[in-house]
Structure formats: structure tokens, C-alpha cells
């Protein structure tokens, strides 16, 4: 491979996770995980409960510090960066356990996310009453609310919403900051079948139209099949299979991990 | 070596007094999930009852012990559980702390009111004769009091370790601490388990109380409060988890204290400062070093979503028409107040109102740090003191006008608050509360007491230090200055709350994980809000001193810091008007109570008043005043706007108390959504 072709390959990789390990009290939650996510690619991360998927997400986002390994986002090592700096470099995230701000309504969630991503917010601006939402911010928030399908609940306090709606708020909040990579942790949990299909459609649209990469942890395998280009399977902290969705589902090691069946 | 042993050995029984309280604190935390600030007050209550029953009623020691420790103490624990702590969601650390602090502040004053302020001396010893030296260890004599202390500590420690580790009840208690509802699903009567835990831990408090009583000639609350600090430190080193470690650290602290006392020169003020500093230096070290103290509040009740959310403030929800009316009434009231203060109000009351305005500025700092920042700081009185002492000493030494000195004082208070915030970056909830109270105690005992700071006892403000006709505590100029400063502070708080920083803080209160994941720099926001609130407290402190014309070493004590939190929580910690109502209410009620006969407690009753108000935090985490405002707002809305649709009855619960469904108020919409929301709301 020529040097130019090699450089182009390297630049195409948005996220490079290499040899990442994390253990808790001697128990390896994630062990030597290595994979990449390309720009605009949608990658599924599946595996049984306790496989280490959320721990791996936490290592990528900075909530946990891995004991070993490197994590590179857009060519820059982010392993030493705090959580907020990783977010500002384009990592968006939704959480396995819903993390919303109970004192805010839906629109405020998105406005906060929009400003936090830019590192906006200075004391003098607040004291001079110059912190009102700008028209472009309002417009952008409205577009994302429309996209996710919760525009009708924009002014509803989030404490009055159910679990499914809160998941959509989380997704919209992550999307409003226009991430280069969205880490979605079980986003369909709590959604009904129709909402799940709509969510899958939104993720696919974002990937295809905006070029946003998605790393999706999900137990609803039908949704994974509908959204992802490539699937990674984890079990007991390690990677057991990589390939297209159909390929990995046919892999005996995956069947073993999920069902305990050895062929 | 023999000198070392001679100093260290007497420290063992002394340290056992720390150990027994520390073990009690750890047990209460392990069995109920509450860090019981009221432990010392409960201990004092039992000790008082025990001593009075022996000395006043002439009961034998064993019978008095049974009544005060075996009956009264657990019964009080059961009352606390039934009326207060049972109602607090497992995950609401702030509510648990505030209620413990309220009891700490309220019980001693209430006892003084109920039983009079007569002194009680020579409390009896429960096990051994305090006047007999039973044996010597090396050269150190062991009296009956020492022996009681050691024997009881060892016996209690063994009993509790067996209870918690090897019995079914201990296992159930540990389960109930995590989630009362979850253990209920396993067929355990968690109500009975938690009540039993409260009875046992209160028995422990009672036992600690009667063991400690004979150690001082006079029975008073002060030694119990002081012991609590040492016990906090020992419990912190045990991460509030290990009973044996808490006991060992308690004993070591006792030995260290007596060793320092033995080796340091006895007449030096430095020695005194070092000795006083031991407990809170040990506490600060534990908070900085022990990893377990950083994850105290990480345990989440899996059933937490069953608890209703804290309702938003009524101002944000009431009907626009009513909001306009109330707003105009407030402006009218403010105008009438200003005109009245400048015209007809008598000097006694202008003094009171001026004082109230200064307190309001200090209380606004609590609105900022706790209401908006979500951080429970118990050091706001200390920060006010830093501002006030700085301004006073700059005037004293450099002749700087106190108004200019107040600005320097605010900067100093902000700097201290920043250091405090940086030192407690990894702490939250209980850990942060302990760090701030440790800082407050450090300033109380080692800074404000210094002659270079407070002239040893007090510093009188001189007329030439203030100028501008401000040297008159009930004068118009002081009032105008204070109302301007308060207005500026109110506007600043409102702008911050409405602005981006306010939104960031709101996000951090909701979920620090998600806030950081959005790109919010939690460290910066936290340090900034600490600094702003410190500066505001410093300004308030200077105003108070200018108005009162004197400042003494106890004017900004840690007890006052605790009382401040209790007051603001009562009136509503999340609103600006809560702070102002707290400040004005504090001084007005105090003044009104001063008209009562002294035997009824006089103005010290004000703390009981607010302490009982804060106890309502269990039922109404938005503050009792805010809750009442909600109820009355709804009544007015119904009366004025006559909703046409069917009404939903208003109960005492926080959500259902928020409003009817078909009135013009947006509250109704919220309730409809809440009632019709999908099952399993946000966690």
C-alpha cells in the first residue's frame, strides 16, 4: 500500500480503540479490546449482560480510565482528556440508565447541550443578561426536536415524562451538539415497537445524511440489524466476533455467548 | 520512653469516648443510611435525663439507666424514624443531613426551654466508682470513669460487630439501607428492620451519653458537640463502614491528643490552637485521603424511581394572571417597606430590619451554593466571618474604610471558598458537608480566635472606619446601603440562575454524569459557584458587622453556619425570596420572642422554630414555606379564575399538591402529564 493510501485509511478511521482493558477488583470487565469506527459508519456492539459493553463506553467517554490501551478520536489521543473535553471533540452519548435533568423541560435540555458543546457560558454574559437563546440556537433545537419526534413535548418538564420519552430526550440532547460519533447505550430500552422503528430510522438517517458515526449498544437485535453496517460481539470483556450482522449471528461463538450452545 | 507511655496510656480511655460515638455514627449510617448529626444531641438528652433521674428524682443508678438509655433513647429513635427519616427517599442525602442538623440545633435549645437552664453537676458513673483508682498501667492510673469508658467501648464494639456481621437482622439492616422497597419485595418487613436499627443506634447514643457524662464536672451540650467532631473524623477514616476501624482511630486520636498535650508547652497559644485543631485536621485528612469517602453517595436505590420528583418552585408554574398580581403586590410591599423605614418605623425595629437585610445577603449565598449549585456547604457563616474580619482588620490596621475593606473581604472570602472547593472536588453530598464543617471548625478554633484576627475576643468598630453616616445601627444610611447591596445581590443571583451558568448548574444537579458528557466543565462550574457564593457571604458578613458595630470570635461560629442552613431550608433554599424571608424572618421572630418571659426561652426559641420548620423537609423538600405558597396559590387560582372542568383534589404529596387539572395554570398541564405518564418514570 502506498504512503498516500495508508494515510487516507488512517484519516478515515474516526475512532481507534486499541488494547483497552479495565478491571474492577481484579475482575476484568474489558480485556484487550481493539476495534475502529470509520467516519459515517454505524457499528453495533452486542453481547450478553455483563459482557463489558457499558464499561467500554465509559472508557471511551472518559467516565472510567482504562488501565491499558489507547483511544484515538479523529487522529488525537483522548485517553488523558477529561469527559467534558472529549464531548467537545465530538463524542455524543446516551445512557443505559436514563440521565436527564429533572428541573428542566425538554427544550432546555437541548439548549444546554448546544451551549455546553461550544464551551459557552461566561459569568459576565449572565450578569449582563446576554445569555438569552439566540435565534440560530432556537432554530437548531427545534429542528432536532422535530427530527426525534418530540417537538410536541418541547415545553414539558422532563419530570413529567415517561421512560420512553426520556430516552428520546437523551437522544435529542446528544444530537443537538452535532457529534461526529454517537455512543448510544440501549436507546430502545423502554420504547414500544413503533417508537423503536422510528428511532432506528432516525439513526439511519443521521448516519446517511449527516455522516454521523454511531456506536450502538443494543439488546434488540432486530434494531441492530436495521441500523448497523458492522457488528462487534463482546463476551466476558473480550471481542468474540466481528462482521456484518448476519455473519456474526451465524457465528457459533456468538451463539455460544448468547445461548450457551456449542456446536 | 516511659514519659511517652505515661502520656499515651491515659489517652486510651479518653480516646474510647471518641470511639464509642464514632462507632455509634458508623452503626447508624450502616443500619439506616443516615449520617446522624443529631447523635450528640441524643446522647446529651439521655445523659441529662439519667443525671436528673438520679439527682433530682432520687432513683437508683440502674433504674435511671434503664429509663434513660434502654427506654427513652430507643423510643426517641423510633419517633425520629416514624415521623422523619422514614419519609425521606434513600437517595436524598441532603434531606437526611438537613434533618440531622435541625435536630442538632433544635434539641439542646428545646431542652433548655423545657427543663430550664439550671446547671447539672457531677453526673453519676454507670459501672465503676469514679473516685476509686482500680489499677495502674505503667504509671497511668485507671479510675472508675476510665474503666467504664474502656469496658463499655469494647463490649459495645463486640456486640455491634456480631449484630451486623453474623445475624439475620444485621443482614436485613444492610439490605434495607440500600433499598427499603427492594428488601420488602423479598418478604422482609423493612419498616420494622429500619425502626429496630433506629432503636439500636439511639440506644447507642444514650449509652455514649451516660458514659461521657461523668467525664466533665458540669453536664452541658458543648462537650458532646466537640466530641462529635472527633467522632466524625474517626468515622470518616473508617469510610463510615468499618466499626473496628472507627473505634481504633477514635482511641488513637485520644492518645495523640494527650501526647500533644504532654509534649507541647502548656501556656502557648500555638499549643492550644494545635490541640483544638487535631480532630478537624484528622477529619480533613480523612476526606482527602480515604477513597471510600468519595463514593459515599454513589449507591443508588434501584427503586428510586418510585419516589415522586421534587416539585418545581411555584413561581415558575402559577398562572400568568396571578403571577402579575403577586409581582405587583411585591413591588407595592417593597415600596411601602422602604418608605416606612425612612419615615415612621421606630429605631428598635429599624435595627431589626437592617440586621435582617444583612442576614438576607448571607442567606442568598446559601441559595447560590445549595439551591442552585446543589452543594451543601455548612461553612457559609465562616465565609461571612472571613469577609467581616478582613474588613475590620484592614480598617483597624490600615485605616481603610470598611466599605472598601468589605470588597477586599469579599475577595478573601471568595479565595477561601475557592480553596475549599478545590480541596473537596472529589467529594459530594455528605463528604462535602463534612469538609465544609471541618473548615468552619478550623476557622473557629484556629483563626477567628487569634488575637491578630479578633483581638482575642472582640473588636469594636469605630466611627472613623465606616463614615458616610453609617455609624448608626438603626439609621437610614445603613438601611439605604443594605437595601442597595441586597438588591444588587438579588439581581445577580436571578441573572445567574436565568443565564447559561444557572442552566449548567441545573444540569449538574440533575446528573453530573450527563452534564460532563455534554461538555460542561464540572470542576470550573463548581469552583466558580463556590467563589461567588463565598464573596456574597463575605459582603453580607461585612454589612452585618458595620450594622452591629462589633465583631467577636464567636460571631460567625460553625453552629451559626448550621443554623443558617436550617433557616434557609425552612424558607426555601431554591428561591431568592426564600433567602430574604429567611433573613427577615430570623430577626423578626427573634425580636418578637424577646418579648416573651425569659423562662419560656426568649429569643433562643427562634432556632427551635426554624429547626422544626426544617424538619418538614422530609415531607416537603421544596421547603415548608414554598409548599404553603403552592397550596395558597392554588386556592387563589381557583377562587380568582374559577376553573370550569372537574378538579383534582389537592393532597399533601409533592406532585399532587401542585395543582388542579383544568384551571388556567400551566401546573394543571404538568399534573395531567404526570398522571398520564408512562409507567417507570425517569430515574
| Span B127-140, pLDDT tens digits | 788 788 888 888 78
Quick check: A154 pLDDT over 50? yes
* Cα separation, B216 vs B119, whole angstroms: 12
Over residues B555-589, the pLDDT tens digits come to: 898 888 998 998 898 888 888 988 999 999 999 99
More confident residue, A228 or B293: A228
Is the pLDDT assigned to residue A58 strictly greater than 70? yes
Chain position carrying cell 463506553 = A57
Give the Cα separation of B382 and B594 in Å (integer). Answer: 26
Per-residue pLDDT band for B616 (boundaries 50, 70, 90) equals confident
Determine, for residues A159 and B516 on separate chains, whether the beta-carbon distance falls below 8 Å: no
Geometric angle at alpha carbon B151, from B150 and B153, rounded to 5°: 65
Do B503 and A104 make contact, defined as CB atoms within 8 angstroms?
yes
State how far Cα B596 lies from the chain centre.
Answer: 27
B402-430 pLDDT, tens digit each: 889 999 999 999 999 999 999 998 888 88
Q: Take residue B545 and report the three cell numbers written for it.
A: 458587622
Which residues make beta-bridge pairs with A71? A17
Hey, is B553 helix, strand or coil?
A: coil
Angle at CA B463, nearest 5°, toward B459 and B468? 130
The ranges assigned to domains in chain A are 1-90+180-263, 99-178
CB contact (8 A) between residue A158 and residue B682? yes
A163 contacts B504? CB cut-off 8 A: no
Residue B4: enclosing H or E segment and its boundaries? helix B2-8
Q: Alpha-carbon distance B592 to B427, whole Å?
A: 40
More confident residue, B505 or B452: B505
CA B478 to chain centre: 30
What is the residue whose three cell numbers read 470598611?
Answer: B402
Rounded Cα distance, B544 and B528, in Å: 24
Cβ atoms B609, B589 nearer than 8 A: yes
Higher pLDDT, A25 or A139: A139
Q: Which residues contact B216 (CB under 8 A, 6 or more apart)?
A: B223
Residue in A closest to B680 by C-alpha: A163
Chain A residues whose beta carbon lies within 8 Å of the beta carbon of residue B504:
112, 116, 121
Quote the DSSP letter at residue A105. B
In the predicted structure, residue B313 carries a pLDDT above the cut 60: yes
Q: What is the pLDDT of residue B175?
A: 82
B521: left (phi over 0), alpha (psi -120 to 50) or beta: beta
C-alpha–C-alpha distance, residues B397 and B413, integer Å: 19
Q: Do A127 and B503 touch (CB under 8 A)?
A: no
CA distance B232 to B531: 26
Which residue out of A102, A124, A150, A156 would a mutagenesis test of the B interface target, given it has the greatest number of B Cβ atoms within 10 Å? A102
What does the DSSP 8-state code read for residue A232? Answer: E
- In chain B, how long is the greatest CA-to-CA distance? 88
Residue B89 has phi, psi (to 5 degrees) of -60, 145
Topology of domain B2-296, per CATH? ABC transporter involved in vitamin B12 uptake, BtuC (1.10.3470)
Cβ separation B503–A162 shorter than 8 A: no
**Contact call for A190 and B680, based on CB within 8 A:** yes
Q: Which residues of B touch A108 (CB under 8 A)?
A: 503, 506
For residues B205 and B24, the answer to whether their CB atoms sit within 8 Å is: yes
Residues B636-641, mean pLDDT to the nearest whole number: 78
Please tell me the distance from the alpha carbon of residue B158 to that of residue B163, in angstroms, as a whole number: 9
- Report residue B674's pLDDT band, with 50, 70 and 90 as the boundaries: very low
| Cβ contact, residue pair A113, B518, below 8 Å | yes
Neighbours of B257 (CB within 10 A): 22
Q: What are the Cα distances from residue B275, in Å, to A9, B253, B264, B434, B558?
A: 67, 11, 9, 20, 18
CA B314, B505, B530: angle at the middle one, nearest 5? 110
Chain A CB contacts of B509 below 8 Å: 101, 103
Q: Which CATH class is domain B350-594?
A: mainly alpha
Whether B2-296 and B350-594 share one fold: the answer is yes
Q: For residues A169, A170, A172 and A177, what is the CA-based torsion angle, rounded to 10 degrees?
A: 140
Rounded to an integer, what distance in angstroms lies between the CA atom of residue B46 and that of residue B42?
Answer: 6
Chain B residues close to A111, C-beta within 8 Å: 503
Nearest C-alpha of chain A: how many angstroms from B377? 21
Query: Which tops the pLDDT comparison, A213 or B611?
Result: A213
Residue extents of the structural domains in chain B: 2-296, 350-594, 605-683
Question: Helix H segments across chain A?
Answer: 3-12, 53-61, 83-88, 106-118, 123-127, 135-148, 163-176, 193-205, 221-227, 245-250, 252-259
Whether chain A has a CB inside 8 Å of the CB on B418: the answer is no
**Residue of A65, A160, A194 for testing the chain B interface, max B β-carbons within 10 Å:** A160
E strand or H helix at B392, and its extent? helix B380-398
Are A99 and B514 a contacting pair at CB < 8 A? Answer: yes
What distances in angstroms separate CA B229 from CA B262, B424, B428, B605, one per listed residue? 22, 18, 19, 25
Answer with the residue of higher pLDDT: B270 or B11: B11
Region B157-178 average pLDDT: 86
Distances (CA, A) of A236 to A33, A49, A186, A257, B655: 11, 9, 18, 9, 43
267-326 in chain B: CB under 8 A from chain A: 309-310, 312
Which residue in the set A101, A102, A163 is minimally distant from B680, CB to CB?
A: A163
- CB contact (8 A) between residue A84 and residue B522: yes
User: 3-state class of B302 per DSSP?
Assistant: coil
Nearest-angstrom CA–CA distance, B204 and B43: 8
Largest CA-CA distance found in chain A, in angstroms, rounded: 70
From the list B514, B519, B669, which residue is nearest A177 (CB)?
A: B519
- Give the confidence band of B654 by pLDDT, cuts at 50, 70, 90: very low
**Strands, DSSP E only, in B470-579?**
550-552
Quickly list H helices, B264-346. 269-289, 320-343
Return the pLDDT at B409: 96
Residue of A nearest to B493 (CA): A127
Q: Which of B64-73, B89-98, B455-464 has the highest mean pLDDT?
A: B64-73
CA triple B620-B623-B628, angle to 5 deg = 80
Residue B308's pLDDT is 66
Q: Which residues of B114-140 are buried (b: 16+ CB within 10 A; e: fewer)?
A: eeeeeebeebbbbbbebeeeeeeeeeb
Instruction: Report the gap between the CA of A127 and the closest CA in chain B (Å).
Output: 6
Does B520 contact chain A (CB < 8 Å)?
Answer: yes
**Is it true that domain A1-90+180-263 has CATH number 3.30.43.10?**
no
* Minimum-distance CB partner of B501 among A111, A126, A164: A126
- Residue A255 reports pLDDT greater than 70: yes
Summarised one tens digit per residue, pLDDT across range A78-118 is 999 999 999 999 999 999 888 999 889 999 999 999 999 88
Nearest chain B residue to A178 by CA: give it: B518
**pLDDT for B615:** 79
Residues 6+ apart with CB under 8 A from B120: B48, B51, B52, B55, B218, B219
The reported pLDDT for the residue numbered B304 is 67
As a whole number, mean pLDDT of residues B632-637 equals: 82
**Chain B residue closest to A127 (CA)?**
B495
Full-model pTM: 0.86
Supply B335's cell numbers.
Answer: 415600596
**Cβ atoms within 10 Å of B87's Cβ, excluding its own:** 17
Residue of B nearest to A121 (CA): B500
User: Locate cell 501556656: which residue?
Assistant: B267
Task: Answer whether B614's CB lies under 8 Å from B566's CB.
Answer: yes
Q: Report how far residue B170's alpha carbon sits from residue B161's, in angstroms, rounded to the nearest whole number.
A: 9
Q: State the smallest CA–CA distance between residue B207 and chain A in angstroms.
A: 38
B504 min Cα distance to partner chain A (Å): 7
Measured CA to CA, the distance from residue B94 to residue B1 in angstroms comes to 48
> What percent of chain B has pLDDT above 70?
90
**B467: alpha, beta or left? (left if phi > 0; alpha if psi -120 to 50):** left
Nearest CB partner across the interface for A123, out of B312, B506, B528: B528
Interface contact B131, partner A, CB < 8 A: no
The partner residue sitting opposite A162, judged by closest CB among B500, B516, B677, is: B677
Q: How high is the pLDDT of residue A69?
A: 94
Amino acid at each position: 500500500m502506498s504512503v498516500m493510501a495508508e494515510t487516507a485509511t488512517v484519516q478515515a478511521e474516526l475512532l481507534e480503540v486499541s488494547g483497552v482493558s479495565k478491571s474492577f477488583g481484579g475482575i476484568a470487565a474489558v480485556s484487550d479490546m481493539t476495534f475502529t469506527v470509520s467516519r459515517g459508519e454505524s457499528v453495533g456492539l452486542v453481547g450478553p449482560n455483563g459482557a463489558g459493553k457499558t464499561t467500554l463506553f465509559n472508557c471511551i467517554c472518559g467516565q472510567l480510565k482504562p488501565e491499558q490501551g489507547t483511544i484515538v478520536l479523529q487522529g488525537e489521543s483522548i485517553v488523558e482528556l477529561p469527559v467534558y473535553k472529549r464531548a467537545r471533540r465530538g463524542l455524543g452519548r446516551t445512557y443505559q440508565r436514563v440521565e436527564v435533568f429533572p428541573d428542566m423541560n425538554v427544550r432546555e435540555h437541548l439548549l444546554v447541550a448546544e451551549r455546553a458543546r461550544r464551551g459557552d457560558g461566561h459569568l459576565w454574559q449572565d450578569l449582563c443578561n446576554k445569555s438569552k437563546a439566540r435565534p440560530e440556537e432556537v432554530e437548531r433545537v427545534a429542528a432536532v426536536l422535530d427530527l426525534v419526534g418530540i417537538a410536541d413535548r418541547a415545553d414539558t418538564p422532563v419530570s413529567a415524562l415517561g421512560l420512553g420519552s426520556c430516552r428520546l430526550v437523551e437522544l435529542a440532547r446528544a444530537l443537538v451538539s452535532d457529534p461526529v460519533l454517537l455512543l448510544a447505550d440501549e436507546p430502545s430500552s423502554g420504547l414500544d415497537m413503533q417508537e423503536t422503528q422510528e428511532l432506528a430510522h432516525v439513526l439511519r438517517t443521521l448516519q446517511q445524511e449527516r455522516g454521523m458515526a454511531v456506536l450502538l449498544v443494543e439488546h434488540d437485535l432486530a434494531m441492530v440489524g436495521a441500523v448497523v453496517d458492522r457488528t462487534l460481539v463482546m463476551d466476558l470483556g473480550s471481542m468474540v466476533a466481528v462482521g456484518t450482522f448476519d455473519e456474526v449471528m451465524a457465528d457459533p461463538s456468538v451463539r455460544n455467548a448468547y445461548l450457551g450452545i456449542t456446536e | 520512653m516511659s514519659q511517652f507511655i505515661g502520656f499515651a496510656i491515659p489517652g486510651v480511655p479518653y480516646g474510647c469516648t471518641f470511639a464509642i460515638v464514632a462507632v455509634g455514627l458508623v452503626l447508624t449510617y450502616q443500619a439506616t443510611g443516615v449520617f446522624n448529626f443529631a447523635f450528640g444531641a441524643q446522647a446529651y438528652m439521655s445523659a441529662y435525663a439519667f443525671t436528673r433521674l438520679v439527682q433530682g428524682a432520687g432513683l437508683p443508678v440502674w433504674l435511671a439507666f434503664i429509663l434513660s438509655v434502654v427506654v427513652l433513647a430507643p423510643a426517641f429513635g423510633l419517633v425520629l424514624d416514624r415521623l422523619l427519616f422514614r419519609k425521606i427517599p434513600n437517595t436524598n442525602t441532603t434531606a437526611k443531613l438537613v434533618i440531622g442538623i435541625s435536630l442538632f440545633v433544635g434539641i439542646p435549645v428545646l431542652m433548655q426551654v423545657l427543663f430550664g437552664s439550671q446547671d447539672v453537676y457531677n453526673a453519676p458513673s454507670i459501672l465503676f466508682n469514679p473516685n476509686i483508682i482500680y489499677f495502674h498501667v505503667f504509671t497511668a492510673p485507671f479510675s472508675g470513669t476510665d474503666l467504664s469508658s474502656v469496658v463499655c467501648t469494647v463490649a459495645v464494639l463486640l456486640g455491634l460487630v456480631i449484630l451486623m456481621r453474623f445475624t439475620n437482622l444485621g443482614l436485613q439492616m444492610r439490605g434495607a439501607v440500600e433499598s427499603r422497597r427492594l428488601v420488602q419485595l423479598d418478604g422482609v418487613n423493612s419498616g420494622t428492620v429500619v425502626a429496630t436499627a433506629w432503636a439500636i443506634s439511639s440506644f447507642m447514643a444514650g449509652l455514649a451519653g451516660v458514659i461521657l457524662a461523668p467525664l466533665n464536672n458540669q453536664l452541658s451540650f458543648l462537650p458532646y458537640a466537640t466530641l462529635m467532631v472527633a467522632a466524625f473524623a474517626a468515622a470518616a477514616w473508617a469510610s463510615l463502614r468499618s466499626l473496628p476501624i472507627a473505634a481504633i482511630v477514635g482511641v488513637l486520636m485520644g492518645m495523640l491528643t494527650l501526647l500533644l498535650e504532654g509534649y507541647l508547652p502548656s501556656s502557648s497559644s500555638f499549643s492550644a490552637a494545635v490541640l483544638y485543631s487535631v480532630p478537624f485536621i484528622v477529619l480533613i485528612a480523612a476526606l482527602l485521603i480515604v477513597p471510600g469517602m468519595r463514593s459515599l453517595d454513589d449507591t443508588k436505590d434501584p427503586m428510586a424511581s418510585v419516589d415522586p420528583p421534587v416539585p418545581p418552585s411555584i413561581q415558575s408554574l402559577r398562572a400568568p394572571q396571578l403571577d402579575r398580581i403577586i409581582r405587583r403586590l411585591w413591588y407595592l410591599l417593597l415600596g411601602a417597606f422602604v418608605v416606612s423605614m425612612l419615615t415612621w418605623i421606630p429605631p428598635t425595629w429599624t435595627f431589626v430590619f437592617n440586621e435582617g437585610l444583612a442576614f438576607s445577603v448571607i442567606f442568598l449565598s446559601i441559595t447560590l451554593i445549595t439551591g442552585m449549585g446543589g452543594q451543601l456547604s455548612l461553612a457559609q457563616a465562616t465565609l461571612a466571618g472571613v469577609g467581616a474580619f478582613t474588613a475590620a482588620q484592614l480598617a483597624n490596621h490600615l485605616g481603610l474604610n470598611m466599605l472598601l475593606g468589605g470588597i477586599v473581604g469579599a475577595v478573601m472570602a471568595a479565595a477561601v471558598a475557592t480553596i475549599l472547593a478545590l480541596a473537596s472536588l472529589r467529594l459530594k453530598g455528605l463528604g462535602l458537608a463534612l469538609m465544609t464543617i471541618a473548615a468552619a471548625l478550623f476557622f473557629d478554633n484556629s483563626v477567628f480566635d487569634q488575637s491578630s484576627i479578633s483581638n482575642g475576643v472582640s473588636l469594636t468598630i469605630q466611627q472613623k472606619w465606616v463614615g458616610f453616616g453609617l455609624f448608626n445601627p438603626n439609621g437610614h444610611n445603613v438601611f439605604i446601603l443594605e437595601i442597595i447591596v441586597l438588591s444588587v445581590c438579588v439581581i445577580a443571583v436571578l441573572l445567574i440562575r436565568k443565564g447559561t451558568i444557572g442552566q449548567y448548574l441545573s444540569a449538574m444537579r440533575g446528573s453530573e454524569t450527563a452534564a460532563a458528557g455534554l461538555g460542561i466543565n464540572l470542576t470550573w462550574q463548581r469552583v466558580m459557584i463556590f467563589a461567588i457564593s463565598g464573596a456574597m457571604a463575605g459582603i453580607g458578613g461585612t454589612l452585618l458587622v458595620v450594622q452591629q458595630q462589633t465583631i467577636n470570635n464567636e460571631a460567625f461560629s460553625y453552629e451559626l453556619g448550621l443554623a443558617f442552613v436550617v433557616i434557609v431550608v425552612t424558607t426555601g433554599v431554591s428561591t431568592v425570596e426564600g433567602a430574604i424571608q429567611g433573613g427577615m424572618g430570623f430577626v423578626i421572630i427573634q425580636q418578637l420572642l424577646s418579648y416573651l418571659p425569659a423562662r419560656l426561652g426568649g429569643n433562643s426559641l427562634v432556632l427551635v422554630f426554624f429547626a422544626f420548620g426544617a424538619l418538614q423537609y422530609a415531607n416537603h423538600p421544596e421547603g415548608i414555606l414554598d409548599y404553603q405558597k403552592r397550596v395558597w396559590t392554588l386556592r387563589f387560582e381557583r377562587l380568582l379564575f374559577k376553573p370550569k372542568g372537574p378538579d383534582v383534589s389537592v393532597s399533601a404529596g409533592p406532585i399532587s399538591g401542585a395543582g388542579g387539572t383544568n384551571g388556567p395554570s400551566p401546573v394543571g398541564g404538568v399534573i395531567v402529564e404526570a398522571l398520564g405518564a408512562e409507567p417507570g418514570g425517569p430515574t
